[in-house]
Amino acid sequence: MKKFLDLGLQPLANKYLTRKEIKNKKKEQFYHLEVGFDNKTKLVSILNKVPSQKMFDNSYPYRSSMSKTMTESFKKLSKKIIRVFNPKLILEIGSNDGSLVKNFNKKKVICVEPCKNLAIITKNKGFKTYAEYWNINLAKKIKSNHQKVDLIYSANTLSHIANLDSVFKSINYILSDDGILIIEDPSLLECLKRVAYDQFYNEHIYVFSLLGIKHIINKYNLELFNVEKLKTHGGSIRYFIKRASNSKIKIHNNVKKQLKVELKYKMDKFKTYSEFKNKVEKSKKQLKAIFGKVKNKNKKIIGYGSTAKSVTVLNYCNIKSETLEYFVDTTPSKTKKYMPGTHIYINKYEKKLLDDVDYIFLGAWNFKEEIFKKEKKFIRKGGKFITHIPTPRII
Ligand code: TYD
């Protein structure tokens, strides 16, 4: 791995602080957020990894069911899975609060979710749930209890696991001969194009490209047969994978197309990443200038969506509560808490909290359309948004 980007010292992204922790001046854990490119594997990853146990514990705050965009995307995919693959047994790695599995017959799905506060949600709804980390021991346990699975799905999870060899070895072990693996994660190409450097934080160990995925799965005799571009999480890719030995499924032209696009963008070359670094540094300067200008006019600025992504941005750009008064968010486990590092307060979302606000920083820029639709009144009254994607600007 060769380093191309330094985003400074950062707190652990999803560790929102309670009032008591702030009062007691709780010492937060910081790590050096550096990002590198591996010329051999074509993988892009953060260089200093935080152990999984420190991140995915019994009080993990992220809930995928909190966003309509995500639940609708899962619903659409579920229909497609039933229609096209009609699997007898589905395994979801990183099932979160069950927003995908709720679309399936309970007897046909197995959930894997190491965060116990989330695993309990699907367990209580009657889904077979393993509150454990995905590895070969768990794969063995599941196989002995349920035999092989014929569809494995994992969204925004595999990029959170450092040891990809263990991930794919375990998948390989449990997937039936004609089984299908579907992975979806933020797209590195979209991240580069949008200068979305906030896709990097301690949990996002990798931001995948097709180039990187192809390299790793080939080691396990797995093969891509289709890819789909998604709007979720600021531009994601859904990878459809089968065993190389399974010749019943034809390889869609989309695979070649995406590969071509990535090569055209020179994603296999280090130079592309060093150029990205220059864009990130420029983005920081421009965002700081916008905040400075608006604040000088004594305008009230708040944040919308206290995302893990905005933790990277605010800490990297050194924007604190003197500038951004508070965040609003709908996630119960985040609200009435404080942002890691910057200690900006997170209010429970209520429309009236926007009444005297002049500018809103789009922490959840990936839900821009959903938020704009919801906040028509704010926009009508002359309220403005600040975003750093793809270049810092006021909307
Ligand atoms: P997301 O972008 O998925 O998170 P992360 O960067 O942490 O992976 O999270 C979106 C956040 O925005 C989530 O905390 C919920 C919040 N949100 C609202 O408060 N209101 C909304 O209308 C939407 C769409 C999201």
pLDDT tens by residue, 272-326: 999 999 999 999 999 999 999 999 999 999 999 999 999 999 999 999 999 999 9
| Beta carbons within 10 angstroms of residue 383's beta carbon | 15
Q: Is 309 in the pocket of ligand 1 (CB under 6 A)?
A: yes
What distance in angstroms lies between residue 370's CA and the mean position of ligand 1's atoms? 10
Q: Which of 55, 56, 67 is the pocket-test mutation for ligand 1 (most atoms within 8 Å of CB)?
A: 67
What share of the chain in percent tops pLDDT 70?
Answer: 100
Q: Please give the structure tokens belonging to residue 301.
A: 């600025």
Q: Is 134 in the pocket of ligand 1 (CB under 6 A)?
A: no
Confidence of residue 183 (pLDDT cuts 50, 70, 90): very high
Tokens 């309220």 belong to residue = 383
How many whole angstroms from its chain centre is CA 370? Answer: 17
Q: Is 300 in the pocket of ligand 1 (CB under 6 A)?
A: no
Helix (H) or strand (E) holding 303: strand 301-304
What distance in angstroms lies between residue 144's CA and the mean position of ligand 1's atoms? 38
| Burial label, 273 (beta-carbon count in 10 A; 0-12, 13-18, 19+) | buried
55-59, 310-314, 382-386: which range is least confident on average?
Answer: 55-59
What is the DSSP code string of 21-78?
Answer: HHHTTPPPPEEEEEEEE-TTT--EEESSPPPHHHHSSTT----GGG-HHHHHHHHHHH
Which pLDDT does position 70 carry in this prediction? 87
Q: Which of 14, 184, 329, 375 is the pocket-test mutation for ligand 1 (most atoms within 8 Å of CB)?
A: 329
pLDDT digits (tens, 9 = 90+) for 233-287: 999 999 999 999 999 999 999 999 999 999 999 999 999 999 999 999 999 999 9
Residue 148 has pLDDT above 90, yes or no: no
- The torsion angles phi and psi of 142, rounded to 5 degrees, stand at -65, -40
Give the mean model confidence (pLDDT) for residues 40-52. Answer: 97
Residue 99 has pLDDT above 90, yes or no: yes
How many whole angstroms separate alpha carbon 331 and alpha carbon 304?
12
Protein residue with least CA distance to atom 16, ligand 1 = 305
Q: Is 159 in the pocket of ligand 1 (CB under 6 A)?
A: no
Write down the pTM of the prediction: 0.95
Atom of ligand 1 nearest to the CA of 305: 12
Protein residue with least CA distance to atom 19, ligand 1 = 329
- The torsion angles phi and psi of 351, rounded to 5 degrees, stand at -55, -40
Protein residue with least CA distance to atom 13, ligand 1 = 305
Atom of ligand 1 nearest to the CA of 198: 6
Protein residue with least CA distance to atom 1, ligand 1 = 307
Q: Is 203 in the pocket of ligand 1 (CB under 6 A)?
A: no
Q: Is 389 in the pocket of ligand 1 (CB under 6 A)?
A: no
What share of the chain in percent tops pLDDT 90?
Answer: 97
How many whole angstroms separate alpha carbon 147 and alpha carbon 320?
52
Which pLDDT does position 69 carry in this prediction? 84
What distance in angstroms lies between residue 130's CA and the mean position of ligand 1's atoms? 26
Residue 67 has pLDDT above 90, yes or no: no
pLDDT digits (tens, 9 = 90+) for 326-378: 999 999 999 999 999 999 999 999 999 999 999 999 999 999 998 999 999 99
Confidence of residue 230 (pLDDT cuts 50, 70, 90): very high
Q: Are strands 128-130 and 301-304 parallel, antiparallel or unpaired?
A: unpaired
Residue 136 has pLDDT above 90, yes or no: yes
